[in-house]
Chain A
Amino acid sequence: MDRLFHEFLFYMQYPFVRYALIVGVLTALCSSLLGVTLVLKRFSFIGDGLSHVAFGALAISTIFKLANSTLLIMPVTVIAAIFLLRTGQHTRIKGDAAIAMLSVGALAVGYLVLHLFSTSANISGDVCSTLFGSTSILTLTKNEVALCIVMSVCVILFYILFYNRIFAVTFDEDFTKATGKNAELYNLLIAVVTAVIIVLSMNLVGSLLISALIIFPALSAMRVVISFKGVVICSAILSVAGALTGILLSILFSTPTGATIVATDILLFFLSCLIGKIT
Chain B
Amino acid sequence: MAYITCSHLTLGYDGKTVASDLNFKVEQGDYLCIVGENGTGKSTLIKTLLGLQEKISGEMLMGDGLNPYEIGYLPQQTAVQKDFPATVWEIVLSGTLSGCGRKPFYGKAEKNLAEETMKKLGIWDLRKKCYRYLSGGQQQRALLARALCAARRVLLLDEPVAGLDPKVTTEFYQITKMLHTEGIAIIMVSHDVQAVNFAAHILHIQQENSFYGTKEEYLESDYRKLFTMQRGIES
Residues of A within 8 A of B (CB): 40-42, 160-165, 167-168, 170-172, 174-181, 222, 225-231
Contact at A167–B80, with CB atoms within 8 Å?
no
Looking at A170, A179, A222, A228, the one whose CB has the most chain B CB atoms below 10 A away is A179
- Chain B interface size, as a band, is 20 to 34
Which chain B residues border A168 with CB–CB below 8 Å? 94, 97
CA gap between A227 and B94 in the complex, in Å = 13
Contact at A225–B85, with CB atoms within 8 Å?
yes
Residues of B within 8 A of A (CB): 50-52, 68-71, 73, 75, 78, 80-81, 84-87, 90-91, 94-95, 97-98, 100, 104-106, 128-130, 133, 146-147, 150-151
9 closest A-B pairs (Cβ-Cβ)?
A: A180-B69, A226-B130, A179-B98, A178-B50, A228-B86, A178-B73, A227-B87, A161-B104, A179-B150
Contact at B97–A165, with CB atoms within 8 Å?
yes
Contact at B86–A172, with CB atoms within 8 Å?
no
Contact at B85–A172, with CB atoms within 8 Å?
no
**Total A-B contacts with CB atoms under 8 angstroms apart:** 89
What are 26 A-B contacts defined by CB distance under 8 Å? A42-B80, A160-B104, A162-B104, A164-B104, A164-B105, A165-B97, A170-B80, A171-B81, A171-B84, A171-B91, A172-B75, A175-B73, A175-B75, A175-B150, A177-B50, A177-B52, A178-B71, A179-B97, A179-B150, A180-B68, A180-B69, A181-B97, A226-B85, A226-B87, A227-B90, A228-B86
Contact at B52–A164, with CB atoms within 8 Å?
no
Which chain B residues border A177 with CB–CB below 8 Å? 50-52
Contact at A179–B69, with CB atoms within 8 Å?
yes
Distance in Å: Cβ of B205 to nearest Cβ of chain A: 20
CA gap between A168 and B81 in the complex, in Å = 12
Looking at A167, A172, A176, A178, the one whose CB has the most chain B CB atoms below 10 A away is A178
Q: Tell me the nearest residue of chain A to B110, going by C-beta.
A: A164
Which chain A residues border B100 with CB–CB below 8 Å? 164
Which chain B residues border A40 with CB–CB below 8 Å? 80, 84-85
Distance in Å: Cβ of B105 to nearest Cβ of chain A: 7
Q: With A175-B75, A225-B85 given, can you name 20 additional A-B contacts, CB distance below 8 Å?
A: A42-B80, A163-B104, A164-B94, A164-B104, A168-B97, A171-B94, A174-B50, A176-B97, A178-B52, A179-B73, A179-B95, A180-B69, A180-B70, A180-B98, A222-B85, A226-B130, A226-B133, A227-B128, A227-B130, A228-B86
CA gap between A222 and B84 in the complex, in Å = 9
CA gap between A161 and B102 in the complex, in Å = 10
Given the known interface contacts A174-B73, A226-B130, the answer about A231 and B85 at a Cβ–Cβ threshold of 8 Å is yes
